[in-house]
Amino acid sequence: MQKHHKSPSETTVVVAMSGGVDSSVAAALLSERGYRCIGVMMRLWSEVEIGEGSRNKCCDQESVDDARRVADQLGIPFYLINVERPFKQNVVDFFIDGYSAGLTPNPCLACNRHIRFDYLLNYARRLGADYLASGHYARLRRQPDGSVHLLRGVDERKDQSYVLSMLGQAELTDLLFPVGDYPKNDVRRMAAARNLPIYSKHDSMDLCFVVDDDYRRFLQDWAPEAMIPGEIIDRDGNVLGMHRGLPNYTIGQRRGLGLSGSGAPLYVVDLDRTRNALLVGPAEALRKTELLATDVTWTLGRAIAAGSRAQCKIRYSARPMDCTLYPQEDGCARVVFDAPVRDITPGQGAVFYDGAHCLGGGLIAKYAS
């Protein structure tokens, strides 16, 4: 963890605190190891504001109070900073624009790229901090040549390397992930053993800015033009029915299509924004052998060699699939799978691994059979 051979007592760490178990234990571990910690929490945009507070689930008043209590117990300074404007521009608008374009975006990828490990990391640097730490379940391994490898967290069920795949060496060298070496159950036990007031608190959920967890309702309010009904079409061009707006559906979906008496089961196989059409087909139509990823970041700062063997995850909860990678000069990468993969979804992240080592990732732009 040491940087430039500084001792912990000479090393300042800004800890991104959320009022949850993981970031609280991260702060506790670093404090116990002698680091000079500063707790910082971000106030993020929410569609509903109450007085001076926010209904964003990551920074509501209860979470702010919990984070402050933990910081007070650890004896470290605590600051709440306003990040509403960049969060709205880079995360919420990204989410709205993605769905409006017929994609299925992952806002956590955008948040980590633009907010946590850009805005907040630069804030930490301006404070003179040596590192920014967070409660992510991932591991960092510093190499003799000065490079930093991003590895999966020990707890495979909680591993968050997928949403950290956009980090390069410029960021990784200044980061710490103290809980990545522990299973989640151990982290909770560590919180309880230290009498931290949040040891039994539930984990936070995705889409923190949607107050009722109903992203369809959110899009109806904030992007009604994306929710216009249109035709449901099979692969022969037959109109089978009407959809209720493309963002209501996702690739691989079978239920809720309203297609009765259609014979063999039909699944969503594509969202055609140009025609505002929902394309459906049999299960085999979901299986693809290639994808193209754009906006690719390589965690070691350089692309791997074309033809390299790797594994690719096509969504956060997916199993890594064996593939061959072909980086391109335009910041894209072609991924060729050993066997057909089901439910490749444009807008989601394609993240590349070599075993436990996260090589990088990008956004799925399109796929091929």
Give the span between the Cα atoms of 316 and 295, in whole angstroms. Answer: 18
Give the span between the Cα atoms of 168 and 280, in whole angstroms. Answer: 38
251: exposed, middle or buried (Cβ count in 10 Å: 0-12, 13-18, 19+): buried
Give the span between the Cα atoms of 62 and 55, in whole angstroms. Answer: 10
Burial track 127-166 (b if 16+ CB lie within 10 A, e otherwise):
eebbbbbbbbbbbbeeeeeeebbbbbbbbeebbbbbbbbb
Selection from 39, 36, 29, 27 nearest residue 9 by Cα: 36
Query: 3-class SS at 104?
Result: coil
Could you tell me where the DSSP H helices lie in 121-174? 121-126, 169-172
To the query of whether residue 111 is one of the catalytic residues in this protein, the response is: yes
Structure letter (DSSP) for residue 155: S
Selection from 123, 115, 95 nearest residue 44 by Cα: 115
Of 37, 111, 323, 358, the active-site residue reads 111
173: exposed, middle or buried (Cβ count in 10 Å: 0-12, 13-18, 19+): middle
Residue 358 to residues 40, 138, 210, 272, 347: CA-CA distances in angstroms? 27, 10, 30, 32, 20
Selection from 343, 349, 215 nearest residue 270 by Cα: 343
Structure letter (DSSP) for residue 97: H
Of 208, 312, 323, 358, the active-site residue reads 208
State residue 92 phi and psi, 5-degree precision: -65, -45
Catalytic residues: 111, 208
